[in-house]
Amino acid sequence: MRALCWEGAETLAVRQVPDPELRNAQDMIVRVRRSVTCGADLPLLAGRVPHLAAGDVLGHEFLGEVVEVGPEVRRHRVADRVVVCSGIACGACWFCRQGLFACCDNGTTGAAGAEPEWGQPTAGCYGRPALLGGFAGSHAEFVRVPYADVGAFTVPEGVSDDRAVFASDAAPTGWMGAELGEVAPGDVVAVWGAGAVGQLTAAAARLRGADRVIVVDDHDERLRMVERHVGAEPLNYRYLDVPAELRERSGGRGADVCVEAVGPAAGSPGLFAGRPGRRADGPLALREAVHSCRKGGTVVLLGTGTGFVDTFPLGAVLDKGLTVRGGRQHGQRWIPMLLERMARDELRTEHLATHRLPLERGADGYALFRDRADGCVRAVFTP
């Protein structure tokens, strides 16, 4: 089959690779119809993540058609149209039974890679290096789906591929942001980042009844999308002082829930840049979220980072009595509900698929996505 392979820093190429095969009784094989770029891929693409090898297939958010099922697969048949959770979890271990699918004990085969970093292994993920299981990615014609009954979900008729594919990762990640923030009616919620995850966090906060949802970014085009498609308020940090603006929009108290959806090394440079004694290369958006959050509020981290950050404002967290939470999404818990909301037209995601390309143009798609060129929010590949 053809697949989009990582070949070294900033280099991708479509190669002929062996077709995936069933390895376990609970596996199935899916023919990919849609596979999406994700911000979490960019450090991999840049070659900043260890344990990635030349020839590895990228991609972890996808939708397709079942072409082969293992003998123990009960919920799926050949020809079913399914969306697959980007995280790989067994559904049976202690963590999965608590609904903490992203913490699954059995999702990764290469636990030795994760333990020195995090103390414990976590769930696997498609298109990731050995650290997250070494599973082949979805930018390919076919994908092997382990624990198929746990991680794959039949897409309701009437929900388009371009909408449903976001139920794989971006929509459950956004839902997780609102869930960890315990967003409730009356809340003022601020979200840093107007990419797909930030927009879908804002959408989730609105669905949960938040009073005001404000999205912080510096891309006017993305912020217009936030207004038009999500019904949230834009806040461009290039023109406005974010903490002051959020205080103003929350009756002076600060946002109740602040969600970081840009990644720990990114964010608006305004708050601490250039001040004597302050380093500007730390987790800027996270620091601004801590600064802007009301006393006793919750800060949620969704942006991807596997390492360490410097200049984390621990004192502000303590003195303001903040709750800080974060995680990768437990999509297996929420994907059926999200698909139902998509079917009822409550959750619309297809506007995020700004660029549709054949797999052959994968390298171009990633370049557009990485550089946010031509208004690219997400590039969607069709093999």
Q: How far is the CB of 41 from Zn ion (least distance, A)?
A: 7
Q: How far is the CB of 67 from Zn ion (least distance, A)?
A: 24
State the residues that interact with Zn ion by CB under 5 A. 38, 40, 89-90, 93, 96, 104, 106, 169
Task: Choose between 298 and 304: whose C-beta lies nearer to Zn ion.
Answer: 304
**Cα→Cα distances 383→29, 160, 237, 325, Å:** 15, 17, 38, 37
Q: Is the distance from CB of 237 to CB of 213 less than 8 angstroms?
A: no
Residue closer to Zn ion by CB (options 38, 148) is: 38
Please, where are the H alpha helices in 196-330?
Answer: 196-207, 220-225, 242-249, 284-292, 314-319
Q: Which residue has the tokens 């094989």?
A: 29
For the chain, the farthest-separated pair of C-alpha atoms sits apart, in whole angstroms, at: 64
C-alpha dihedral over 330, 332, 337, 338, to 10 degrees? 70
Q: Which is nearer to Zn ion, 169 or 217 (CB)?
A: 169
Among residues 85 and 216, whose Cβ is nearest to Zn ion?
Answer: 85
Distance of closest approach, residue 40 Cβ to Zn ion, in angstroms? 5
- Cβ closer to Zn ion: 90 or 215? 90
d(CA 183, CA 200): 14
- Which value, in Å, is the radius of gyration of the alpha carbons in the chain? 20
Q: Shortest Cβ distance from residue 369 to Zn ion (Å)?
A: 12
Residue pair 125/135 in contact by the 8 Å Cβ criterion: yes
- Least distance in angstroms from the C-beta of 54 to Zn ion: 22
